[in-house]
């Protein structure tokens, strides 16, 4: 049925256009509810909605753009540091590079790295104010109660001894495990970690794993060349490198450095009387006594024949003299088995020198050698120079055995 003029068809009955019943607006695609209490959508509200939608869309784009830029910057920073890590061959420099990388990207509160190689456990920390809290975690994670050497990645020239604790659950830990050693990386981030930061940390962990494995392999090859096979001490060739490194360290950080030179008394008589195999046993036993009485951060060198040198970083001359006196006593009171049925008594003479401004390697060794000569000329089985009795009573080494000098932490290299 055709529609009448001025009418529209609803159902089967013609309805006037001006009726109060629900109708179609002139815009045929939008239905308007004219029920009592309803306010029609105005054109201004529509424009406001469109504007808010546009702002939201633009904000999303800007946010993505910002994070995209931040991500590109962080990955560019990562690439620069990774290249540096791959070009380094000493662990101090490798870890310093890794810590600076994470500092630039995450602005961490704490960076720490612990590596266990056999019985040796070393940790690197930045900053040192967290060391006490971290030591508890290290003991638990490595299942050890043994002491370990602590290195500070960036030396604190202020000498600040304050310590700060942190919640263990806040720290991020990553394990590095290979056929050469066991290690852990610890990070306490300051910035909020984004999703891609986990990928960055994983890349650093993998790079550190490769660098650590290469370093340990190189170290083992160097040890084969650097160690005396009889006594398990460093050899004279390695001594030259060690003393130069420690002198440079003492100059740079204004630290103490002492040197002990010792000689087994009447060693030629042992060789002539009992044979060279007996002499070898005496040298090995004497080296074991000395090694058991020094810190892990000290160095024992077989300087030549029956002569040994002990390099003592972070040690005052008075402490070195006290240590030498205790070592002398320990050797004299420890008969050495040269056969299953025969033991011999041996003694040793000691000369002490301490690094002073203007000293070089030759001057330091010369002074220790002169003191050793005085000890042998004075009757052997003694330490030169002697320590005054009043000073000897004042020296105390808390928390250590009766033969160790005062323990001090080490710092990452030069």
Which of 223, 255, 285 is the last residue before a domain boundary?
223
Can you tell me the distance from the alpha carbon of 231 to that of 302, in angstroms, rounded to the nearest whole number? 8
What is the pLDDT of the chain when averaged over all its residues? 80
Residue-by-residue DSSP string for 271-303: HHHH-HHHHHHHHHHHHHHHHTTS-TTSEEEEE
Q: Is residue 4 domain-resident?
A: no
CB contact at 8 A, 238 and 226: yes
Is residue 412's pLDDT more than 60? no
Q: Are residues 165 and 116 in the same domain?
A: yes
Can you tell me the distance from the alpha carbon of 341 to that of 189, in angstroms, rounded to the nearest whole number? 63
Evaluate the CA torsion angle 413, 199, 167, 109 in order and state its sign: positive
Q: Are residues 243 and 307 in the same domain?
A: yes
Which of 202, 223, 244 is the last residue before a domain boundary?
223
Q: Are residues 247 and 216 in the same domain?
A: no
Domain that holds residue 148: 64-223
382: Cβ contacts below 8 Å, ≥ 6 apart:
328, 349, 350, 375
Residue 104, SS3?
helix
Q: Using alpha carbons only, how large is the chain's radius of gyration in Å? A: 38
Can you tell me the distance from the alpha carbon of 125 to that of 138, in angstroms, rounded to the nearest whole number? 12
Q: Is residue 7 domain-resident?
A: no
Q: Is residue 366 domain-resident?
A: yes
Q: Is residue 19 domain-resident?
A: no
Residue that wins the pLDDT comparison between 257 and 19: 257
Beta strands at 348-354 and 336-337: parallel, antiparallel or unpaired: unpaired
Can you tell me the distance from the alpha carbon of 347 to that of 257, in angstroms, rounded to the nearest whole number? 26
Q: What was the pLDDT predicted at 40?
A: 56
Is residue 290's pLDDT more than 60? yes
Q: What was the pLDDT predicted at 57?
A: 55
Q: Is residue 37 domain-resident?
A: no
- Comparing CA positions, the residue from 261, 301, 284 lying closest to residue 336 is 284
Range with the largest mean pLDDT of 38-52, 163-177, 307-321, 374-388: 307-321
> Residue 306 catalytic?
yes
Find the catalytic residue in 238, 306, 322, 325: 306
Least confident of 78-87, 282-291, 329-338: 78-87
CB contact at 8 A, 348 and 286: yes
Q: What was the pLDDT predicted at 69?
A: 64
Is residue 203's pLDDT more than 50? yes
What CATH code is carried by the domain that includes residue 405? 3.30.70.270
Which of 171, 202, 223 is the last residue before a domain boundary?
223
Q: Are residues 218 and 246 in the same domain?
A: no
Query: What residues does 177 pair with on adjacent strands?
Result: 182
Both tokens assigned to 297:
């951060």
Give tens-digit pLDDT for 24-82: 444 444 444 555 555 555 777 777 777 666 666 556 555 455 456 677 888 888 888 98
Q: Are residues 200 and 243 in the same domain?
A: no
Can you tell me the distance from the alpha carbon of 120 to that of 50, in angstroms, rounded to the nearest whole number? 67
């Amino acid at each position: 049925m055709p529609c009448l003029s001025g009418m529209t068809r609803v159902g089967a009955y013609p309805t006037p256009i001006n009726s109060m019943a629900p109708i179609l607006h002139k815009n045929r695609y939008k239905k308007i509810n004219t029920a009592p209490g309803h306010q029609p959508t105005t054109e201004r509200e529509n424009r406001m909605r469109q504007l808010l939608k546009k702002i939201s869309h633009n904000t999303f784009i800007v946010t993505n753009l910002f994070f995209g830029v931040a991500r590109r910057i962080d990955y560019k920073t990562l690439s620069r540091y990774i290249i540096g890590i791959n070009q380094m061959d000493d662990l101090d420099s490798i870890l310093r590079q890794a810590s600076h990388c994470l500092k630039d990207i995450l602005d961490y509160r704490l960076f720490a790295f612990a590596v266990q190689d056999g019985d040796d456990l070393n940790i690197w920390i930045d900053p040192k104010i967290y060391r006490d809290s971290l030591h508890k975690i290290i003991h638990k994670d490595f299942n050890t109660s043994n002491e370990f050497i602590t290195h500070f990645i960036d030396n604190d020239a202020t000498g600040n001894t304050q310590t700060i604790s942190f919640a263990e659950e806040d720290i991020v830990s990553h394990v590095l495990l290979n056929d050469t050693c066991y290690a852990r990386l610890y990070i306490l981030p300051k910035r909020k970690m984004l999703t891609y930061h986990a990928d960055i940390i994983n890349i650093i962990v993998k790079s550190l794993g490769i660098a650590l494995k290469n370093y340990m392999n190189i170290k083992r090859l160097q040890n084969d060349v650097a160690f005396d096979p009889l006594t398990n001490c460093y050899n004279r060739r390695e001594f030259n490198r060690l003393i130069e490194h420690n002198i440079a360290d003492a100059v740079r950080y204004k630290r103490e450095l002492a040197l002990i030179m010792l000689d087994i008394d009447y060693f030629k008589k042992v060789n002539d009387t009992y044979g060279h195999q007996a002499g070898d046993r005496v040298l090995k036993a004497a080296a074991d006594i000395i090694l058991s009485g020094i810190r892990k951060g000290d160095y024992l060198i077989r300087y030549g024949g029956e002569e040994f040198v002990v390099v003592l970083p972070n040690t005052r001359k008075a402490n070195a003299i006290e240590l030498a006196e205790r070592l002398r006593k320990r050797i004299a009171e420890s008969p050495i088995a040269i056969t299953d049925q025969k033991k011999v008594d041996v003694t040793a003479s000691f000369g002490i020198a301490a690094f002073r401004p203007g000293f070089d390697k030759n001057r330091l060794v010369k002074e220790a050698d002169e003191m050793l000569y005085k000890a042998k000329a004075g009757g052997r089985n003694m330490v030169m120079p002697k320590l005054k009795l009043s000073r000897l009573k004042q020296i105390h080494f808390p928390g250590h055995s009766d033969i160790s000098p005062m323990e001090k932490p080490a710092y990452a290299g030069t």
